[in-house]
Amino acid sequence: MVAAKKERVNYQYLQPNYQGEKGRQVKKLTLSPILSTGLLILALVAMGMTIIYRSSVINSYNLELQSKKTFYNNLLDEKYHLQLEVARLSSIARIDKIATEQLDLHPPKPEQIVIINTSNWSDNGN
């Protein structure tokens, strides 16, 4: 039978070394309550200012959008009125009135009417 001798192994190298370079113990970084409260207040103020800035930007964009909508609606109204004006100015009755009164144009007399027969004409101009 083979018996193995139990050796004692030193596992000390696996334990963390909490000592500094010169053998001093390293201090944990702790913040004083005043400093941590100050940082918390600073973070809250920064978040509040961000929210206020965001709201002001949204409001300015909303105002700009409303002005653009108003301008667009004014243009639509102007387009509608211009279309009415075009329809009024291009009416047959108005054109006939201007032709007879201002330009002194009248319908032709029966002897001024000439009828041209186009059935004898071909497409090549003969």
Dmax (CA) for the chain in angstroms is: 150
pLDDT at 115: 87
Give 104 or 52, the one with higher predicted confidence: 52
pLDDT at 18: 54
pLDDT above 80: residue 3: no
In degrees, rounded to 5, the angle at the alpha carbon of residue 20 between the alpha carbons of residues 29 and 15 is: 95
pLDDT above 80: residue 67: yes
